[in-house]
Structure 1
Amino acid sequence: MRWDANSNGRWETSSAAAAESTGFRLRDGALETLRGASDCRGGGWEKITNPAAIVVTRFSVQRQVTPGFAPELERDAGGALRATDGPDERG
């Protein structure tokens, strides 16, 4: 995803801390994010889901364009809770 953080009409490449892009990827059952990502390779990605508790099985983002309106991003994700061996803690 990209956005024009400083409203100058351009997407600039810069350090990750000031980058105008954020990447998301699905890897090994976990959703990960990286600020300043230009592709899905490389290191520095951080998990934003806990693969010990939830397995993410699908993740996609689609850009939806409707004439006369600003583009919207539509996200789709799916997953399942991991089975646990312990007792049910819900009471």
Structure 2
Amino acid sequence: MLSRGYTLTGLLMSMGIGVSLLAAGATFAMNLSQQQLVISQKLELQNHVKRTGLLIMNELSRAGYDGMAGIRFISGIPRDASPFYPAFELGVSGGYSQGSCVVFHYDKNHNGTIEKEPLSEYLGFRLKDGAIESRMDAKDCDQPGWQDLTDPTYIKVDTFRISPVNISGSGALLSVEISATLVRAPSVSAKLHWPVTVRNF
């Protein structure tokens, strides 16, 4: 009579196959988890860059607006006599390339004059030490005292550039370019390259 059961060799082979499958499964799970983390970080960074770009574009599109432009036009006063002319100026910030700083103003309270209080109508953005900064108190591109718009401990902005694409008497078409990386994961990057129209040029 034969006794049926597992042999030592069969058990060892089964255990070896099982361990191999577990190792393969663990490796797959780790790779999948890593991929999901990278995707999540990239989406997080893209959303941050996109929100920053939209804010800049919304503000910049208003550059040069003068609440008294109609009255000035009817009175025969030329556009360049407006305190909101020129609509914007592109400059250089801290050794970066041309267009790394833009200063502009628009008439928030529609009274035809540029004011600092209660809401400053001296606006602008620049790249400084890996962050995009917002203009404060009519500061020039190379002056200190601007306020961080992006958090340099969270993202590092590598590129911020505004370039003219087409300028005519009816307005200006500009290109806004931003590229950034996550500070905690420098290999994760995002870019934005969008057009913005300034109609009050």
Question: If the length of structure 2 is used for normalisation, what is the TM-score?
Answer: 0.35
> Equivalent residue for 1:83?
184
1:38, distance to aligned residue in structure 2 (A) = 5.4
Q: For structure 2, which runs of at least 5 residues remain unmatched after alignment?
A: 1-59, 70-78, 85-112, 186-201
Q: Secondary structure at the match of 1:39?
A: coil
**Contact 2:139/2:145 (8 A) holds in 1:** no
The C-alpha deviation readout for 1:43-68, integer Å capped at 9, x for no partner, is 43111111111000111111221668
> Equivalent residue for 1:42?
143
Letter in 2 for 1:56: V
Letter in 1 for 2:116: S
Select the structure of larger CA radius of gyration: 2
> Equivalent residue for 1:24?
125
1:35, distance to aligned residue in structure 2 (A) = 4.8
Question: If the length of structure 1 is used for normalisation, what is the TM-score?
Answer: 0.68
The C-alpha deviation readout for 1:23-55, integer Å capped at 9, x for no partner, is 111111110011553521334311111111100
Q: For structure 1, which runs of at least 5 residues remain unmatched after alignment?
A: 85-91
The alignment yields a C-alpha RMSD, in angstroms, of: 2.7
Structure with more helix by fraction: 2
> Equivalent residue for 1:3?
64
> Equivalent residue for 1:53?
154
Given candidates 173, 177, 180, the residue that maps to 1:72 is 173
The alignment of Structure 1 onto Structure 2 pairs a total of residues equal to 83
Q: Secondary structure at the match of 2:67?
A: coil
**Contact 1:32/1:47 (8 A) holds in 2:** yes
Quickly say closer, same or farther: Cα 1:54–1:39, change in 2 above 3 A.
Answer: same
Runs (4+) of structure 1 exceeding 4 A deviation are: 66-69
Q: Identity of aligned pairs, percent? A: 25
